[in-house]
Structures are given as structure tokens and as C-alpha cells.
Structure 1
Amino acid sequence: MKFIKLTAISAAVLASTAALAADPVIVVDDNDAVVYEAEPVAYQAAQPSYAYNSDAGIVRNTTGAVVGTTKTIFNTLTHPASVSAEAGTLGYGANVGFSVNEKTELQAGWAGGDAADLFGGDFDANDVNYDVDSDFSNPYLGVQVRPMANWFTMGAGIIVPDNDIDVRANSEGSDDGYFELNNIQYNAAQTGTLEGTIEHRNKLAPYLTVGFRPNITNNFGLFGEVGAAYMGKTDATVRAVDSTSLVNYTDKDGTPSTTTAGEVASIAEKELEDKDWLEWFPIVKVGATYRF
């Protein structure tokens, strides 16, 4: 009888395992029948490495969330939304755009080269006109926003300026001409050539622009922007070819006086450093964009 009992129990266990407790198991013991209900085994799908807990308002498994975010950032940076070519007061250059959403785009670009001709090739500092030669290098990072989801754009960012600006003063007036500094006219022939350099003090220059970016086709578009970058005060160096040369002038009281070409250069240098528009450098640029 014990043998029959063991055999019945073993068969019941094997049957319940195979059928995942699909049917009840009956065990016979000394003419008594006992029914056992086998509980099925529950299997759960593997949970993701991170998940949002709507009750607590937090992301469970921070490590997984960071990895997921990093992967998203990597995919965004390696799949740019657009490339653009540009020309303007900062120079000739290009940028790459990365879409954050339908209204916002991050940009990384560079503009430089000899940009002097793009803004006329000269400028006036008070009453002295200067010819300009430049060698610009302006890498930048910024964001372009379409606040109304149309052609109108607003931009902001940071420029890392490394611009070499060489200047040469032009004499004015009749006959031999003159350099007018602080309302005093210095004889240009006696002063000789005045030339120098300008360098902005800011190593990081914030900028703001407004513009428009119409799409011509699904992939191709144009853009234009105007604005300004805060380059900070300028350091100027102006020198005369012969700094010891004597220069005649008439002072503000009408009295004829004499100074040196080196002193005239120093006065011109101070006026260059006081020129306001070099502190706020104008940004004007146009270009074309190809969208992927």
C-alpha cells in the first residue's frame, strides 16, 4: 500500500509540474481522497533599467536615467539638423545646428578671415579716419529660437574672439593735410604715418541677434541677422614712423605750438581706446542653410 501511495504522489507532482497546475491533483491515502490545488508560477517581464514613478514624481534607478540621457545627447550631437555658410562683420564662416525642438536650435560655428572689407574697410574715431586690415577668428556657441514658430528668429550666445585689427590713419584737409585730434589740427606731413593695432579685452563676448530664416525648399533656406557682441574695452597701440619729428599745431587758444610725432601718436591712441562702437561690435550677417 505504501508503494501505491508513493507512486500516486510522484505521478501527481510530475503532472502538476508539466501542466503548470492546470488541473487539480488527487492523492489517495487509505481509501480517503484529498484534492490539492496547485498554484501556478507567475513570471514577470524584466523591468527596464530605469522607469518613471508617477506617484513619487521621480525617476527610479538614477544611473540608468543618466545613461539614457547621455545616449540622447550623444545621438543629438552626432546627428546635426543643419549646416550653414555665412558672411558678415565677424568674417566668413560656417556653423552646425542641432535641434532641441521645433522652435529651438543649438549652434556651434566659426567666422573669421579678413573681414575689414565686409564693413567698409575703414572707420572714424572722432575726427580721424582709419583704414583697417583685419585677421579675425571668432568661434562661437549659441542658440536660435523661433518664438512664434515662423521665419522670425532671436539668437544669443558666446563668442571667443581672437581678432587682429591693424589701423592706418588718413590725413584730411587741403595742402599737406592734417590730423585733427581733440579739435586740434596737427600737420600731417610733419607727423608722418600713424599706424597701429587694436585688441579687444574680452576673452568671452556675449552676443544678441534678431533675424529671419525663410525656407526656400524642404531642405534649403536663407537667413539674415543683425545684432551686437559685447567685446569690452579696447587696447590700442599707435606709433609714428619718426616719433621725434617736430610737428606744428595751433592750440585751442590760437597760440602756435610745437610737439613731436610721438606725442601726436599717443593722443590718437587714447582716442581709439575711447571709441564706443568698438566696445559693442556690430553683427551683420547673411547666409544659406541646408537642413537634413
Structure 2
Amino acid sequence: MKLIQLTAISAAVLASSAALAAEPVIIVDSNDAVVYEAEPVAVAYQADAGYAYNADAGVLRNTTGAVVGGTKTFFQTVTHPASVSAEVGTLGYGASVGYSLNDKTELQAGWAGGDVADLFGGDFDANDVNYDVDTDFSNPYLGVQLRPMANWFTVGAGIIVPDNEINVTANTKDGFYKIDGQQYAEADVGTLKGTIEHRNKLAPYATIGFRPNITNNFGLFGELGAAYMGKTDATVVASGADLQNAAEKAEKELEDKNLLEWLPIVKLGATYRF
């Protein structure tokens, strides 16, 4: 009789296994006055989102896990950058996108360019010759922004791929160019025009700055630093028929000047964070 009762009890327990997670089940053995109570078992499965926006820090957290977590999370991370920014400065007018690896590290990709000659004053002197400058900058860049103290203070570093046109026109003084200690009449030389090109095809840069958040989504930033553009090659052409050697000497003076060998970086901008 006990074997039959035990068999019935086992069958009842197995049959009611689907209900154990919702409510306890009580089974009574009348002969032995034994009460069996099955406690509910709760099993929870929680999927990690891989990344989450931290409103206080203004960045995405743990996107490294999202990048390596699989195709779906990689696509979500790539198509949802942590921030987009607009900027103006000595590199030009431009924009960038940023991807936060954590609350202290952000990868950046951007471009800045245009005519920024007026930001440098619009002219410069190479020995005794004054030159007007016209520029057409193109500066795509890749870099890292670090927040070493996890606050608004930033340190940046990266690489610029410069493709900058710098055109110059020499100005006369009292109708003469004074080049390499000699005076050349404008009537003989004509106009002196040239181009300057930096030798570096990749230009490393470093900056320090600030990036305070105004709201959960909007912020401002400023940066100071420099990029090493390298020494320069110059080409100068004289429009007059005589004294082409004046142009050759002007080329040498311009190359010795090494205009913007260290390009100062000064930029201001605004950021929208997702």
C-alpha cells in the first residue's frame, strides 16, 4: 500500500512541475501524517545590453563588450555613435563623430578644412618680404580623447592626414622686392606668386582641453595643442621676363621660414551626445 502511495506522490510531483514556479504545492500522506511542500523555483535570465548611456558622464559605457559581443551588437554600436560634434579652429571648419569605449576613453574621427588664412592674420613675413596668404585646408583626422579624471578635462592625441593648399603673393615696398639682401624692381620682376606644401603626409598631434556637459545631450568643448606638419617645399614664379633668380631666392627664403611647421591647434565646438 505504501508503495502505491509513494508512486502516486511521485507522479503528482512530476505532473505539477510546471506549476512549481508559480505557487507552492502541498501533498499529504494520510497514513503517516507527513506534509510535503514544494517550494517554487525561480530562474531568471537577463541579457546584458552591452552598452548603456551614462547621463552623468555624458558617454556610453562598456561599448567594448558591445563591439566584440556579436554582429548585431557590433552593428548597433557602429550605427549609434556616442556623440557628433561641430567645430571651428585653426584646422578649419569641420565635424567629427566619437565612440566611447568607457567613461574615460573616446575614439574620434573627423574632418576640418576650408579657407582659414584670416585666422593666421592673412599675411606673414619671410625675411624682408611680406606675403599675402590664401589657403584651402583639408584635414581628416583620427584620434583618442581621454578623460584622465573622468570629468570635463581632456587630453587628446592622434594623426592628421593633411592636404592643405597654401598660396602666397609677395608684396612690394616702395616698388621693390628685397630678397636675400638685394632689391629687385617690381617693373622687372613682375608679381611673385607661389605655393607652399608641407612634407608630412601624416601629422601627429596632441591637445589638452575641456568638454563640459550643459545638459544630458548637449555640451561644449575647447582644445589647445599643436600638430607637427613638417618642413616645407616652396615654388615661386615671377611674371616678369627678367630676373627669374629673384623667384628662386624667394623660394629658398620661404622654405627656410618653414611656415606652420608646428601648426597650432585652437578649436571651439559643440557636441550632441546620444
Same fold (TM over 0.5): yes
Bigger Rg, structure 1 or 2: 1
Show CA shifts across 1:18-43 (max 9, x none).
95998xxxxxxxxxxxxxxxxxxxxx
* 1:139, distance to aligned residue in structure 2 (A): 0.9
Distance, in Å, in 1 between the alignment partners of 2:168 and 2:72 is: 49
1:121 counterpart = 2:122: yes
Shift of 1:117: 2.0
Task: Name the CA shift for 1:219/1:191 in 2 (closer, same or farther; >3 Å).
Answer: same
Q: Write the letter of the residue equivalent to 1:275.
A: K
> Does the 8 A contact of 1:91 with 1:118 survive in 2?
no
Partner residue in 2 for 1:53: none
Residues 147, 195 of structure 1: alpha-carbon distance in 2 compared, 3 angstrom cutoff: same
Per-residue deviation at 1:198?
A: 1.3
2:266 corresponds in structure 1 to 284
Matched residue pairs, number? 218
Name the TM-score, length of structure 2 as normaliser. Answer: 0.71
Alpha-carbon distance in 1 for matches of 2:146, 2:227: 18
**Aligned twin of 1:240:** 238
Aligned equivalents of 1:203, 1:19: Cα separation in 2: 79
1:149-164 to structure 2, matched below 5 A, reads 149-164=150-165
Which of 221, 242, 247 is the equivalent residue of 1:265? 247
- Counterpart Cα distance in 1 of 2:146 and 2:128: 40
Q: Is the 8 A contact 2:232 2:258 kept in 1?
A: no
Change (3 A) 1:267 1:70: farther
Aligned-pair identity (%) = 74
Shift of 1:284: 1.5
CA distance in 2, matches of 1:179, 1:106: 49
Query: 1:183 Cα shift?
Result: 3.4
In the alignment, structure 1 segments of 5+ residues that lack a partner are 1-11, 23-44, 46-64, 246-259
Confirm or deny: 8 A CA contact 2:224 2:265 kept in the other structure. yes
Superposition CA RMSD, Å: 2.7
CA distance in 2, matches of 1:236, 1:166: 10
**Letter in structure 1 aligned against 2:261:** E
Distance 2:131 2:266 in 1: 21
Pick aligned residue for 1:228 from 222, 226, 229: 226
